[in-house]
Structure formats: C-alpha cells, structure tokens
C-alpha cells in the first residue's frame, strides 16, 4: 500500500486581513485530506499588529502571535516553523490572506523591496533544493517571486491584476495571467500558484473542488468557481479591501 504524501501547510495567522484567509486554509486542508494526503500545519512564532475585521482598521494597541493565531485554524495541531525539517515533507503549500504579505513577508508595505521571514526562507529554499513541490495561493506567490525570482525566474500567477503582476516581474518572476480556479505550474521549478481571491473582475464559472476540474492556465479545459477580488488591495496598509465571497483552492500535481 503506497505511503500517503505528507504536506506542510504554512499558515500566517487567522483571518483574511491579518493572517491566513480562513476559507482558503480550511478548504486546502479538506482537499489534501480528500486526495489521501496527510498534513502538518506550521507557522512562524512572531508578533504582529492585528486588524479589526469589523472595521478593517489596525488595532494599534494590541499585539498577537502568528503561531498562536494560526493554531485556531489547526485546532491546536500546529508546530513552530523553526522546528520543521523540510526533508521530512513531500511538499509545502501556503494559503493566501493578508498575513502572507504582512507576517510571512513585508510585501504589503514594501512591494518589490520586501523581506521574507527567516524561517519561511529556510524551509522553502531547502524544500526547493530537495525538489519538493511548493504551492502558493492568492497573494502568497509574492513570496515565491522574492525568494526565487532573481535567480530562477519561475512562472507564477497573481491572477489578472496588472500592477501586482508588474511588481512580481520586477522581482524576477515570470507572471502568467490566470483566471480564478485555474493555476500555473512551473514544472521545472516545481512551483504551483493559483490566484484564488486575487482575481479582478466577475465571478468565473466551472467545475469542482479538489483539483478534478482545474487545468493549467497555459492549457484549456474547465475551471472551478472563482470569486471577485483585487490583488492590489493586499498592498494597502489601509486595508480598503471589500468583503468577498468564499473561493476555492487549487491542488498539487502528483508527487
């Protein structure tokens, strides 16, 4: 009997405006389970200023911890990213949400000049050297652009937001325009990205969850249901992003 692939899911908090987008994170875990994979949630142990999700304004006098907040999604079954040995996993995936641009990196504030959390750098660069597939959802492909763009120039997608795509290309990535529910898989670099909630425009129509309906953006075929979104909103510290409908996640290629 084949051994189930073991996937590391890197979370960035709990809530779209200051952490992992809850719908994306939960459905990612569901899809992995449906595909017969096991997973381990993980997050960096670092403080951040939370966002009031009712007012969309920073709670300036509060401080929360990325690992502690991510534990809400994982029901406490989570580990500090600093303790993670990449060799013990078959792949890694990063759900979207503002935390990817705020807690895992500084892309929200610094754009192409952003910095990436040291443990995120360690885990993802080691995983890449070992040939592990890495998946980036929503705004998380900005991390792929920063880590691998200058040297490897991976194909990634942020959807159809022209300004954000230009920023990723400024970091050295090759951006591919992509509809919600589709994905871009750079076979050589084993980097998969999907725009999820970062697709501007009207809702896309299509097939199913868990990867049975999606195709690469460079090919044809059906797409899963997407949603309205705006990648540029993730760069705004003022958080003027409007509330959005739940989306769907992409899945990994065969391991």
In 3D space, the residue among 43, 42, 20, 41 whose CA is nearest the CA of residue 32 turns out to be 41
Q: How far apart are CA 8 and CA 143, in angstroms?
A: 16
Collapsing DSSP to helix, strand or coil, 113 comes out as: helix
Place of tokens 């990449």: 86
DSSP state of 151: H
Catalytic residue among 138, 178, 198, 227: 138
In 3D space, the residue among 96, 121, 114 whose CA is nearest the CA of residue 198 turns out to be 96
Sign of CA dihedral 124, 11, 143, 7: positive
Q: How far apart are CA 106 and CA 40, in angstroms?
A: 25
Our answer to whether residue 14 is catalytic in this structure is no
Place of tokens 């991510």: 70
- Catalytic machinery residues: 138
């Amino acid at each position: 009997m084949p051994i189930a692939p073991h996937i590391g899911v890197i979370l960035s908090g709990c809530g779209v405006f200051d952490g992992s987008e809850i719908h994306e994170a939960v459905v990612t875990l569901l899809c992995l389970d449906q595909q017969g994979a096991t997973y381990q949630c993980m997050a960096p142990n670092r403080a951040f200023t939370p966002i009031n999700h009712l007012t969309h304004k920073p709670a300036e006098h509060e401080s929360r911890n990325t690992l502690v907040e991510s534990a809400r999604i994982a029901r406490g079954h989570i580990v500090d990213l600093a303790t993670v040995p990449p060799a013990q996993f078959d792949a890694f995936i990063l759900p979207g949400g503002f935390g990817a641009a705020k807690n895992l990196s500084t892309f929200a504030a610094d754009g192409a000049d952003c910095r990436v959390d040291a443990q995120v750098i360690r885990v993802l660069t080691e995983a890449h050297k070992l040939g592990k597939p890495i998946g980036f959802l929503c705004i998380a492909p900005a991390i792929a652009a920063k880590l691998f763009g200058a040297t490897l120039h991976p194909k990634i997608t942020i959807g159809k937001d022209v300004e954000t795509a230009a920023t990723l290309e400024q970091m050295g990535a090759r951006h591919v325009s992509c509809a919600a529910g589709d994905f871009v898989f750079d076979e050589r670099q084993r980097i998969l990205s999907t725009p999820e909630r970062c697709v501007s425009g009207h809702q896309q129509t299509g097939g199913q969850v868990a990867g049975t309906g999606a195709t690469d953006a460079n090919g044809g075929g059906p797409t899963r249901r997407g949603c309205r979104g705006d990648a540029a909103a993730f760069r705004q510290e003022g958080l003027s992003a409007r509330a959005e409908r739940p989306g769907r996640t992409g899945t990994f290629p065969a391991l």
